[in-house]
Amino acid sequence: MATSFKLIDKQLRLPGRIAGLFMRPSERGLRFLHRALRRAAGNDMVGAVSRTVSIARSDGNGMIRTRIFRPHNAPATLPIVLCLHGGGYAIGTPEQANFMRVCAGLMAVRDCVVVAPDYRLSLDAPYPAGLHDCYDSLLWAKENAAEIGGRTDQIFVMGDSGGGGLAVAVCLLARDRGDVAIAFQMPLYPMLDDRQINPSAVNNTMPIWNSRFNALAWKLYLRGLVEKGEPIPTYASPSRATDYTGLPPAATFVGDLDPFLDETVHYVERLKAAAIPVQFQIFEGCYHGFEQVVPTAAVSQAAVRFIQEAFAYAVDNYTAAQPNERYASKSTSAHAK
Q: Which of 34, 85, 132, 288 is catalytic?
A: 288
Number of neighbours of residue 287 by Cβ within 10 angstroms: 29
Distance CA 23, CA 25 (A): 7
Does the annotation count 331 as an active-site position?
no
For residue 160, indicate whether it is catalytic. no
Neighbouring CB atoms inside 10 A of 322's CB total 17
Contact 114, 69 (CB under 8 A): yes
Please report, to the nearest 10 degrees, the dihedral formed by the alpha carbons of residues 122, 64, 100, 317 taken in order: 100
Q: Compute the distance between CA of residue 199 and CA of residue 42 in angstroms, rounded to an integer.
A: 37
For strand 78-84 and strand 278-283, is the pairing parallel, antiparallel, or unpaired? unpaired
The whole-angstrom separation of Cα 267 and Cα 297 is 27
- Distance, C-alpha 79 to centroid of its chain: 17
Cis peptide before 128 (omega within 30 of 0): yes
Q: Which of 122, 161, 239, 300 is catalytic?
A: 161
DSSP state letter for 82:
E
CA 307/CA 309 separation, integer angstroms: 5
The residues with which 319 forms a beta bridge, in sequence order, are none
Is 179 noted as a catalytic residue in this protein? Answer: no
Q: Which of 132, 258, 262, 300 is catalytic?
A: 258
Sequence-distant (6+) residues with CB within 8 A of 133 are 57, 64, 117, 119, 120
What b-and-e string marks burial along 90-123, b requiring 16 or more CB atoms within 10 Å of the CB? bbbbbbbebbbebbbbbbebbbbbbbbbbbbbbb
Annotated catalytic sites, by residue? 161, 258, 288
